[in-house]
Amino acid sequence: MPPSTAPEASAARPSLPGAATSRAVIDLEAVAHNGRRLAQVAGVPWMAVVKADAYGHGLGPIALTALSVGASWLGVAQLAEALALRALLDEADVDRPAGEPSGQAPRILTWLLPVMDPARAAAEDSPLRAALAADLDLSVSTLPQLEALSAAARAQATTARLHLKVDTGMSRGGAMAEDLPALAAALRQAEDEGVVDVVGLWSHLSRADEPTSGSTEQHLERYRQAEQIVQEAGLSPSIHHLAATGGLLWHPGARLDLVRAGIGLYGLSPDPSVATADELGLRPVMRLEAPLTQVKRVPAGQAVSYGGTWTAPTDRWLGLVPLGYADGLPRAASSAGPVAVNGVRTSVVGRVCMDQVVIDLGPADGGAAPAAAGDLAVLWGDPAAAGADPATPTAQDWAEACSTIGYEIVTRLGARVPRVPRVRPDGQDPDSPDSPESPVGAVGATHAGSAQSAQGPRSATVAGRTEHQEER
């Protein structure tokens, strides 16, 4: 399944998809690079975590790119995401696994299921029956979940593939140690009945980004204790997984049989205070950009944006960028968010508005304006990419400016910003008129809407503290 070769106009002032005033360019070669890098470090099979629309990057192109470089599993949090992903893969002619999963026939794991009683679970229109029909791997942590899944499997006349999740210290999802013996016994009974197959045992690490805390070692010990209880109940899961990006990078003992590559796949570090993305050999995937819609001169003392929280210290040139908090820019970026225009690093001034922000273009000292309407403003991207503006901020720069984490910056990007997936040879500038790189699928495609928007390089060779822990 080759990527699209449809040409796209490119220029210093790029044409945007349809009537859009901004875009997020998604570098699929960077995704492939990051996947290969993480797989090399892990040394075991890996899952590409593509929840939340692939961390805001666009589900289809990211999933297919990850598969093209060897991911044998795909992971999403919510069942609705998993069903959409299965439909997308089916439409893209990706095989369902008959045995061991592979990049050509991956398995899909989802772990947040709707709550329902057995009668509702067994109903013909049950989302759990839809999950089983879609050949999804499902997570179970409680007896009521097992009862619902068993009812759905009986009604569907099939066997549910389950991953038993245990709580090893995060106190979020997963079975508590005191509840595990009864749950394991019930799972074994359901296995004997033929309605479930417990194929996996898994958990999450809460402090994998703190390599010396000792927390991960405690998690691993509790996992081993849970493993013993499960074995004593007569269960024999073949897949054991504990480590997401932070675990696979910094805790070799937690890699087990499978690792879950999330934030690292998108070129962001789980914790830059431990190691930056560049130090980890990862490349940022998303570039958020928009042409300036207006440039104006304002006098010294002029207040800018709602509330007049920023005042021009001298006569200034200001630029208007058509992105705001409705597009996912944090309001905390007011008078803080970094932006690059024409090789110069500047910042948002005044409050972030719903649809736009104002940026400072520098002193108006009698000379010509340093930028014009149509000139490209880059909010974040990869300053080291070929042809990129070296002044380009990164998503991590935005995270630091907003006192948050890189995860939040990229995942909150709104749906009205088109994701423009790009496939290009290394060393080529995607916006260069001489570049043979082509967009993948429909230029304005967002999310997982069609196989066309999902076309990734399937023909490629398969081969500071944070407060937030997800798939790292």
Q: Which residues make Cβ contacts (< 8 Å) with residue 373, sequence separation at least 6?
A: 291, 292, 293, 294, 295
Neighbour order of strands in the sheet with 46-49: 239-241, 196-202, 160-165, 137-140, 107-112, 73-78, 46-49, 259-261
Structure confidence at residue 22 as a pLDDT band (50, 70, 90): very high
pLDDT, mean over the chain = 89
Of 236, 266, 296, the last residue of a domain is: 266
Other Cβ atoms within 10 Å of 294 Cβ, number:
13
pLDDT value at 9 more than 60: no
Within a domain: 4 = no
Within a domain: 392 = yes
State both tokens at 289: 């950009």
Within a domain: 461 = no
Within a domain: 23 = no
Provide, rounded to the nearest whole percent, the portion of the chain with pLDDT above 90: 82
Quote the domain boundaries for residue 336: 286-449
**What's 132's domain CATH number?**
3.20.20.10
Within a domain: 2 = no
Residues 100 and 196 in one domain: yes
Residues 297 and 443 in one domain: yes
Within a domain: 462 = no
Residues 374 and 427 in one domain: yes
Domains in the chain: how many in total? 2
Residues 352 and 425 in one domain: yes
Contact 339/378 with Cβ under 8 angstroms? yes
Within a domain: 202 = yes
Span 169-206, pLDDT tens digits = 999 999 999 999 999 999 999 999 999 999 999 999 99
* Segment 104-114 mean pLDDT: 98
Residues 327 and 437 in one domain: yes
Span 339-395, pLDDT tens digits = 999 999 999 999 999 999 999 999 999 889 999 999 999 999 999 998 898 999 999
Residues 335 and 245 in one domain: no
State the catalytic residues.
51, 306
Residues 330 and 395 in one domain: yes
Span 68-85, pLDDT tens digits = 999 999 999 999 999 999
Structure confidence at residue 424 as a pLDDT band (50, 70, 90): low
**What's 376's domain CATH number?**
2.40.37.10
Residues 37 and 169 in one domain: yes
Contact 472/247 with Cβ under 8 angstroms? yes
Residues 248 and 303 in one domain: no
Within a domain: 149 = yes
Residues 221 and 328 in one domain: no
Residues 222 and 344 in one domain: no
pTM for the complete prediction? 0.88
Pairing of strands 160-165, 137-140: parallel
C-alpha radius of gyration, the chain, whole number? 24
Residues 240 and 364 in one domain: no
Name the residue among 75, 145, 151 with its Cα closest to residue 113. 145
Using DSSP, state whether 86 is helix, strand or coil.
Answer: helix
Structure confidence at residue 458 as a pLDDT band (50, 70, 90): very low
